[in-house]
Amino acid sequence: MPQVEIYTKPWCGYCFRAKKIFDEMGVEYEEIDLRSEPAREAEMIRRSRRLTVPQIFVDGRHLGDSMELRALAESGELRGILQAAAKENDGGRA
């Protein structure tokens, strides 16, 4: 199973949309709420080199924000990224 991380803030509509994409795909994710964990915002900026939320990572690979995630989902690339990550995490058996 790939590790999916989403940096969010509670009032962010783009964050809601990003989480909805994963929810509809049945993909589990770790939500990092920067309102309740403000110290992690510097971590997000360091990892993504961006200041806005959401920022989305799959197994440490930065996928971008919700618009980039939506484009990946619509093109079918997101499913491939998740499947490749799951296979790698399963030692090539997935």
Q: pLDDT per residue over 1-33, tens digit each?
A: 899 999 999 999 999 999 999 999 999 999 999
Domains and CATH numbers, the chain: 4-89 (3.40.30.10)
SS3 readout for the chain: CCCEEEEECCCCHHHHHHHHHHHHHCCCCEEEECCCCCCHHHHHHHHHCCCCCCEEEECCEEEECHHHHHHHHHHCHHHHHHHHHHHHHCCCCC
* pLDDT value, residue 91: 73
Residue 92 pLDDT exceeds 80: no
Calculate what percentage of the chain has a pLDDT beyond 70: 97
